[in-house]
Amino acid sequence: MSAKIIDGKAIAEKLRQQIAVDVAAFRERTGIVPHLVAVLVGDDPASAVYVRNKHSACEKNGLRSTLHKLPATTSQEELLAVVRQLNDDRDVHGILVQLPLPKHIRADVILDAVNPRKDVDCFHPINVGLLSQGRPWFLPCTPHGVQQLLIETGVPVAGAHVVVIGRSDIVGKPLALMLMQKGPGANATVTVCHSQTRNLVEIARSADILVAAIGQAEFVTPEMVKPGAVVIDVGINRVAGKLVGDVAFAGVSEIASAITPVPGGVGPMTITMLLKNTLTAAELATEGRRMKAEG
């Protein structure tokens, strides 16, 4: 068996075309341009690339994008002041604080300070709580990207056993919440595995859909995959100058029915969902102002 390659770039481009149409309609209706502000602290090369890609995607799809670049010596209080300023700026709809932050800054303190209605990464405790209840303002970008890949490729999720390897707040936990809820691309039975899971190989091998999001290069090997399973690789690791995922692609692709590549799989979808969230944030802000005016 040779797995079908799930082309995240092509699916992302299709979705971005619809987002661009929706952005144009919003701008025509309101005269407002959805505005995303990214805050980058320090000189981490990977973070700089991510921010640049996000800026380019915004510009191509009719959204406004601004970068606040701060030195690595920025204090926690100075960064908090920037976040508060952006919270108060009515022309800013989405705020993205690029991680990782310098070690002397507590990421949780900064992320908790972002206005939940501008939290387009869906990291704020309020947004996490709303997600757990199935009534979110936003969906976290990478998990939403994974879910859209499954929907767009016609993978049956309802009733399927999904095994998520990794319990991070960014991917593993929110993805599990999303896939177990009612709705399209959901209604799954979900098992979350992590570093303390016993019989990990056996559990992984029971999955109809296996999601690798553990941050270890080529961690998922062929013996962990049930023949015919769908494998989603969220990881991105640099090994000997080459980008590889959390899945040993060559071997696993001979067993799975479908698999995402690295790069070109989940990554483009993450940015696409960020665009969607920025538009949603602008819509929330506009609706909130209209309700206040009418009240």
For residue 165, what are the β-bridge partners? 193, 212
Question: Can you say how many angstroms the Cα of residue 186 is from the centroid of all Cα atoms in its chain?
Answer: 16
Alpha-carbon span 146 to 233, nearest angstrom = 9
Nearest to 134 by CA among 183, 169, 172, 189: 183
- Can you say whether the dihedral through the CA atoms of 37, 43, 45, 47 is positive or negative? negative
CB 136, CB 241: distance < 8 Å: no
Nearest to 204 by CA among 188, 217, 191: 191
Catalytic site includes residue 108: no
- Of 7, 22, 98, 208, which residue is the catalytic one? 98
Alpha-carbon span 225 to 205, nearest angstrom = 5
Helix (H), strand (E) at residue 46: helix 45-60
Residue that has been written with the tokens 């690029």 in this structure = 98
- Of 7, 54, 118, 181, which residue is the catalytic one? 54
| Cα angle: 215, vertex 219, 221; to 5 degrees | 150
Here the tokens at position 115 are 């206005």
Nearest to 196 by CA among 161, 236, 166: 166
- Of 7, 22, 119, 121, which residue is the catalytic one? 121
Catalytic site includes residue 54: yes
Catalytic site includes residue 14: no
Report the catalytic residues: 54, 98, 121
